[in-house]
Amino acid sequence: MYWYDHDVSGWSYVWMGFGMILFWGLLIVGFALALRYLFRTESQSRAHPVQPGPEHVLAERFARGEIDAKEYADRLSVLRSATR
């Protein structure tokens, strides 16, 4: 009486296998993410990078050739006199 009602059918084995793969996959991914979070470096955890100062921006413009040496020296002297 009801011999096959309490046994696992063929599709149940498929779903159990899928569930096992899903469980171990989630466990491994969670472990990898936890390790990545614990061992991240300071540069990776910084949300907002440090903005360059005005003298640095001016030096970059001079290096790219956007301004000449006289204009660079004039603007640099203005920047340095304004900060004092």
- Output the CA torsion 16→19→23→26 (10° steps): 160
Taking only the tens place, the pLDDT of each residue in 30-71 is 999 999 988 887 666 566 667 888 999 999 999 999 999 999
Please tell me whether the overall predicted TM-score, pTM, comes out greater than 0.75 for this model. Answer: no
Please give the structure tokens belonging to residue 70: 């006289």
Average predicted confidence (pLDDT) for the chain: 84
Alpha helices in the chain (DSSP H): 10-38, 42-45, 54-64, 69-82
Q: Which two tokens stand for residue 21?
A: 């793969």
Residue 56 per-residue DSSP state? H
Is residue 40 within 8 Å of residue 22, measured between CB atoms? no
Q: Please write the tens of the pLDDT for every residue from 5-41.
A: 666 677 788 888 999 999 999 999 999 999 998 888 7
